[in-house]
Amino acid sequence: MNIKFLLLFLIIILSSCGQNGKTNKRDTNEIEYVSNSEIVGGFDREKYPILQEAILLKEDNSLTEAIEKFNIAEKEYGPMIPIYLNRGVVYQQMGKSKESITDFEKCLSLNNEYYAALINRGIAYVYSNQSEKALIDLDKAIEINPTEPATYLNRAIAYNDLGKTKLACSDYKKAKSLGLMDKYGSDSVPRWLKIKCVF
């Protein structure tokens, strides 16, 4: 699956870990993020050229260099949602869930209902075997935007990690009804979820 970036990215998204305390890294292809335009967030690209450079490095998959630029941008411009959101997404791409969660928390300290930060922190929690916390963020993200299929898909993954197969399949069905396949393609759904949830 091609990872869509989400505001984060949110996405967003924000791949996960195994169950029962085991530390199995989840295939990053299991998590679906929302669109790149939502990740980047709104900002004046001419007024914040360092941030723009960091985002371009992120889009070119130059992750270490992107982190360095985001750090410089933060020192230069101070607290900004686009810095924290995008840097959090990069950390998640690098498999650094702890750092990504910290950045998404910084976003949420500036705007506690910022959809992209909620879905991405939820995804990062799934990655780090904290599915109960993931559900809190994903539930709130669904309250804010109940029509984004990626949120339901990621909540289905969190439910599955907690052994709640019925709820996982219900969310998968909801994601499909909201156009998951049209928006993200059939590769966006982990194979095991397709097998478990036969409708």
SS3 161: helix
**Residues across the chain:** 199
Amino acid 11: pLDDT: 30
146: its two tokens:
């109940």
CATH topology of domain 28-146: 1.25.40
- Residue 31 has a pLDDT of 41
- Token pair, residue 51, equals 């941030």
Q: Give CA 92 to chain center in angstroms.
A: 8
- pLDDT the model gives residue 195: 84
pLDDT in tens, 92-120: 999 999 999 999 999 999 999 999 999 99
Which residues are within 8 A (CB) of 143 and not within 5 positions of it... i.e. 6 or more apart?
Answer: none
R_g (Cα) of the chain, nearest Å: 16
> How far are the Cα atoms of 76, 116, 147 from residue 9, in angstroms, in the given order?
23, 6, 17
> What pLDDT is attached to residue 7?
26
pLDDT of residue 22: 29
What is residue 189's predicted lDDT score, i.e. its pLDDT?
85
Tell me what pLDDT residue 199 has: 65
Q: Spell out the SS3 assignment of 132-156.
A: HHHHHHHHHHHHHCCCCHHHHHHHH
Residues of the chain with pLDDT below 70 are 1-43, 199
3-state secondary structure of 160: helix
- Residue 24 buriedness (CB in 10 A; 0-12 / 13-18 / 19+): exposed
Q: Evaluate if pTM is beyond 0.85.
A: no
pLDDT at 196 (0 to 100): 85
